[in-house]
Amino acid sequence: MVDPITTRRFGFRCVFFGLCAAIIFLKMLPLSTIPRSVPGPDLLFCLTAVWIMRRPRWAPVGLIVLVHLIADVLFLRPIGLWPAISLLGYEYLRRKAAGPTEIAIPLEVGIAAATFAVMVLANALFQFVFGVGQPTFLTLIYHVIVTVIAYPLMIAFSHFVVRVRRARPTDVDGSGIAA
Amino acid sequence: MARERYGQEEYGRPVRRVLIGLLVVILLAVFGVWRIDNPRVERFRAAMIDRIVPSFDWALVPVTRVSRMVDDFQSYSRIYEQNQELRRELQQLKSWREAALQLEQENARLLDLNKVRLNARLTYVTGVVLTDNGSPFRRSVLLNVGARDGVQDGWATMDGLGLVGRISGVGERTSRVILLTDSNSRVPVSIQPSGQKALLIGDNTLAPPVDVADNLEDVRPGDRVVTSGDGKVFPADILVGQIAQGPNGRLRVKLAADYGRLEFLRVLRNPETPVIATTGALIAPDEIPVSAGEAVGASDG
């Protein structure tokens, strides 16, 4: 006898992991090896942030760290730095989302954008201090901008396709407290 | 029930905060280890990629093929223009072929006169590109040949025509090629016909800049760029590309390899490649007199 809330939560955690794996997989396809001046968006951040802002329990810390570590290893990034920084960023978002008032979407995009920019900056700073080679400042700015553009799309995808929506007060008896 | 959960939440919050802090510290420690003991962690990374990526092989190959087919299909719309273009190029090539044949004969005669033998040790093993690396800031690809096929760190990789990159990270079944366009790539080259030595510096663009060592005036756009073989990084005289002048006057290299379509790559066997096992070994042996531990022991004794 497993209660339905737990089952559903477990199911959506699996979905979260699957989507992250799909993103990593897509990024690794050797479709174009030409370097472009504008880098692609950080979809992993978009997905995680969107889920945290809606259903924090469906994106647990352990899973997030695991996925980001795998991405670090596969993407040839310094191992451990980005997961550490992004974990702090995600915790900040989690606390914002847990507040009593609902956050309107434009405000949410703003918060996510600011958080991501700070994360990227902190990452670059760390890499600079520890003498890890890094891309130019302009590329980083492009990266932030592209990610911010992708963020609302990820909201739409999560809302309409995966049906990850904020728990409403009316949901409480149906799917538990803040599910 | 509800109250109990909320109660847990209130109680759990500081504990949670401590746990998160601990996790961050652990992750930063991992980063520290990566920074300090880089070769070992990179070997671990290669081994892990070696485990993960080939298991996705069944999906990687078809998806890549299909998307390339879509690309090819789009190019059908331009097929007439392409045909015209190809005809023109064919005409030009015919004249070049004539010239090449004459030169080949001349070359053969001269080689015969000189009793020159080409380096027979430069054989190669061909690998298929499995994956790109996902990061937008790094340029590398993963090949499906690895230690099993005798691939070693540091070997040069080329497509049919020109140099593509350098092996860095070898797993049992896979190996990673850092492309010339990666911002960490540095390759000693020489510019023909003037013979100037230069360093090709990857900067995440398709045409990496070159730092010419001495005489800038001798280098002109259109000059051939080949590897110089300095520092025993690469065998000498592999074609890299042509000099071109960037918009701000900086000399760049138009790479000969077709970076749009890296599919099959040749890994040149180079038995003389020095093995870099530790960070210390990056410095030439004669520059490190005694290691720290031994030095302490020596002063004690």
The per-residue DSSP string of A33-56 comes to -S--SSPPP-HHHHHHHHHHHH-G
Question: What number of CA atoms fall less than 13 Å from residue B74's CA on the CB side?
Answer: 5
What percent of chain A has pLDDT above 70? 88
Contact with chain B for residue A128, Cβ under 8 A: no
- pLDDT in the model for residue A81: 92
Is the alpha carbon torsion for A5, A11, A17, A19 positive or negative? negative
Residue pair B242/B220 in contact by the 8 Å Cβ criterion: no
Count CB-CB contacts under 10 A for residue B143.
Answer: 26
Q: What is the mean pLDDT of residues A86-112?
A: 87
Tell me whether A129 touches chain B (CB under 8 Å).
Answer: no
Contacts of B10 (CB under 8 A, 6+ apart): none
Helices and strands, number each (H, E), in chain B = 5, 12
The beta-carbon contacts of B59-62 under 8 Å, at least 24 apart in sequence, are B59/A25, B60/A25, B60/A28, B60/A29, B60/B130, B60/B131
In this predicted model, what pLDDT tens digit does every residue of B6-43 receive, in sequence order?
Answer: 444 555 678 888 999 999 999 999 999 998 888 888 88
State pLDDT tens for residues B259-282.
877 888 888 887 766 666 655 545
Predicted TM-score (pTM) of the model is: 0.68
pLDDT value, residue B277: 60
Interchain CB distance below 8 Å, B131 and A37: no
Closest A-chain CA to B179:
A33
Per the CB < 8 Å rule, is B139 touching A35? yes
Q: What is the pLDDT of residue A69?
A: 92
What pLDDT shows up at residue A173? 43
Per-residue model confidence (pLDDT) at position A156: 92
Is B119 buried (19+), middle (13-18) or exposed (0-12) by CB count in 10 A? exposed
Q: Per-residue b/e over B272-290, b at no fewer than 16 CB within 10 Å?
A: ebeeeeeeeeeeeeeeeee
Chain A residues whose beta carbon lies within 8 Å of the beta carbon of residue B5: 177
Question: CA-nearest residue of chain B to A38?
Answer: B136
Q: Find tokens 């280098």 and name the residue.
A: B219
Residues 85-114 of A with CB under 8 A from B: 87-88, 91
Using one digit for the tens of pLDDT, what is the confidence trace for A109-160?
A: 999 999 999 999 999 999 888 888 777 788 889 899 999 999 999 999 998 8
ipTM of the modeled complex = 0.84
Q: Note the pLDDT of residue B279.
A: 55
Q: H helices within chain B, ranges in order?
A: 2-36, 38-52, 57-75, 79-114, 292-300
Of A92-96, A101-105, B176-180, the least confident: A101-105
**Contact at 8 Å (CB) between B200 and B253?**
yes
pLDDT confidence band for A64 (50 / 70 / 90) = very high
List of residues 6+ apart from B32 with CB closer than 8 A: A80
Q: Does A60 touch chain B (CB under 8 A)?
A: no
pLDDT number for residue B10: 52
> Which of B6, B20, B140 is closest, CB to CB, to A76?
B140
Q: How far apart are CA B145 and CA B167, in angstroms?
A: 11
Pick out chain B residues at pLDDT < 50. 1-8, 281, 288, 290-301
